[in-house]
Amino acid sequence: MYEADEQQAVVLDGDPALQQPIIRQMVVQLRSMDSYGTYDTWSDARVLDPLVLTKARRRAIPVVGDPDETTLSRVKAYYNALAQMIERETGLLAVPMINISHEGFGRALILVGKLVALDKTLRDVHRFGFDSLDALVAEAEKQLAKAAGLVAAHRAVAEL
């Protein structure tokens, strides 16, 4: 499994994407899941660097494989961050529910009340990542807009 080291870093400290709200929330979520304090001395860029999978990094990951705990924590951090952003946008509690098999297949849901605001099928979770931080931001904004639209359209269900 791929692990970023300092020589291979593609996310740099001065990257403007580091100031995006979803990226800030990703850092909060990833640091909160770090029970051993590994990220305490790491910069935000270094914490986020493994989420960026360049073509070379993708080639280094086998096509078939089981996700490790670190990768699963990144998936959970992403959907936790999305749920927090949905909460901020709608003013209603958003709860992520993630079910992933040991083979890396599953589903991520974000519930707002009784409403399923986001439903994403997960495949090949061991290869979870984005082409760049900008791609992460774009995907998150797309999902956030769709979820916020659903909550607005079905507010009565979301308030149950």
> What span, in angstroms and rounded, lies between the C-alpha atoms of 140 and 137?
5
Fold of 17-158: Putative cytoplasmic protein (1.10.3100)
> What span, in angstroms and rounded, lies between the C-alpha atoms of 54 and 47?
16
State the chain's mean pLDDT as an integer: 89
Tokens encoding 133: 């931080």
Q: Each residue of 123-138: pLDDT tens digit?
A: 989 889 999 999 999 9
What pairs with residue 121 in β-bridges? 107
Tokens encoding 109: 């849901």
Q: Model pTM?
A: 0.88
Q: What SS3 state is found at 124?
A: coil
> What pLDDT does residue 121 have?
95
Q: Each residue of 150-159: pLDDT tens digit?
A: 999 999 999 9
> What pLDDT does residue 64 have?
83
> What pLDDT does residue 2 have?
46
Contact (Cβ atoms closer than 8 angstroms) between residue 75 and residue 127: no
- pLDDT at position 69 over 70: yes
What are the E-state strand segments in the chain? Answer: 94-100, 106-112, 115-122
Annotated domain spans of the chain: 17-158
Tokens encoding 152: 């607005």
Q: What SS3 state is found at 80?
A: helix
- pLDDT at position 116 over 60: yes
Average pLDDT over residues 53-64: 85
pLDDT band at residue 85 using 50, 70 and 90 as cut-offs: very high
